[in-house]
Structure 1
Amino acid sequence: MSILHAPVRILGCGSLLMGDDGVGLKVIEALKKTELEELEGLDIEDAGVCGLDLLNLFDGARKVIIVDAVLAGSRKGSVHLIEGKDLLNGTEPHTLVSIHDLTITDVLRIGEQVQSLPEIVVIGIEIGELATEISRDISPEVLKAVDKAIELIRAEIGELL
């Protein structure tokens, strides 16, 4: 059973110890300082490194917005809106980052086999490369993308505002 209860959920993924990979968590941190934190019908949560436990956070949701780092070969700090259905059917060219064994795409593919999935949208922020050393630093180009990601999230949850 999910610890979350709202029909719309925003989940930030990443690791604050792996440099730019932590950008999804920075977006969640910024969102929690806005009026959205108090919005009825919306949960905003840090989902950590997004293993299979992510599926528990989908239970009972109508829509889930996942914010994570991507490697798409685009300009560092660019922001992408990725439909979950495109990830599932393999038409999305973005590579979602994982510092563990499973990417969000892997989790969604397993999830569709074992449960009913809500509408999924991924806000992906281009990080350019994976961190090779432990670091809490997020590059300025990636940090600038936080505001753009929040703008896309606001558009996605427009019906709640």
Structure 2
Amino acid sequence: MRTTPTESTCHPGGDTPPASIVVLGIGNLLWADEGFGVRCIEALQRRWEFADHVQLIDGGTQGLYLIQHVQEADALLIFDAIDYGLEPGTLKEVRDDEVPRFMGAKKMSLHQTGFQEVLSLATLTGKYPQQVLLIGCQPQELEDYGGSLRPVVKAAMETALALGVAELERWGARPVERRTPLAPREAVTLDELALTAYEAQRPAAEEACRIGDDRFMPKAEV
């Protein structure tokens, strides 16, 4: 796994700490590496505590329903699986005005189309965050319904989390390692969908079709 340099290191807002920080993970847990962003949010919440002005959001595939969170943020950190055309597991940081362009460069799913529209709408309403950082990971596998993160992408999570926590610390989020485990139903991701439970409960391929039902798949011409 390798990382690429940040696209832009300057941002408006100077040295003023952001009053509201939103950390957003987007993607679909049910399609293997598409769940990277949500898994990052899950891990952040389970391992770290933050100041009261920091929100951790499991954005899933909500698209335009996320607009209020973006508009409320002075600083926005996004985790997502992004098809950069790089080696699987490669992380890339993109900042500020470059983020919408990269979100729409190679759309892998409808959620990316929706979130690109969220950023555009936030700009039109004059409520775009002063600072935005996208930490994206190149996926390896998306066509595996019910699948989990591939090992190379799961390994990249650790570096992604370290990059995210470092940025949050610079923004004044005051991250500290969590000493008290989360109570049941306190997690942003449902307990049943937590990474360990999700992977442990998956049926074998012989018991559950993972790419589609043969009865409805187009037949190849002979």
TM-score band, normalised by shorter chain: 0.7 to 0.9
Pick one of 80, 86, 104 that aligns with 1:74: 86
How far, CA to CA, are the matches of 1:124 and 1:148 in structure 2? Answer: 11
Contact 1:71 1:128 in 2 (8 A): no
Q: How big is the shift at 1:83?
A: 1.2
CA positional deviation for 1:138: 1.2
Asked if the contact 1:9–1:64 (Cα under 8 Å) also holds between the matched residues in 2, the reply is yes
> Which structure has the bigger radius of gyration?
2
Divergent runs of 4+, >6 A: none
Q: Name the residue aligned to 1:121.
A: 133
Measure, in 2, the Cα distance between the counterparts of 1:61 and 1:135.
32
1:138 aligned partner, one-letter code? L
Mapping for residues 1-161 of structure 1, pairs under 5 Å: 7-35=20-48, 37-88=49-100, 90=101, 95=106, 97-100=108-111, 102-118=113-129, 119-128=131-140, 131-159=142-170, 160=172, 161=174
**How many angstroms apart in 1 are the aligned matches of 2:99 and 2:39?**
23
* Residues 99/105 of structure 1: CA separation in 2 closer, same or farther (3 Å cut): closer
The amino acid that maps onto 1:84 is: D
Structure 1 residue runs of 5 or longer lacking an equivalent are 1-5
Give the match's secondary structure for 1:132: coil
**Aligned-partner residue type, residue 125 of structure 2:** V
Q: TM-score with structure 1 length normalisation?
A: 0.82
Q: Which runs of 5+ in 2 are unaligned?
A: 1-18, 175-222
Offset, 1:101? 7.0
Higher relative contact order (CA 8 A, sep 6+): 1
Q: Any idea what the Cα deviations from partners look like across 1:106-139, whole Å, max 9, x if unmatched?
A: 331233123411122111011045x234123210
Higher strand share: 1
Percent of counterpart pairs with the same letter? 26
SS of the residue corresponding to residue 159 of structure 2 reads helix
TM-score normalised to structure 2 length: 0.61
* SS state at 1:68 partner: strand
Root-mean-square deviation (CA, aligned residues, Å) is 2.4
State the Cα distance separating 1:99 from its structure 2 match: 3.6
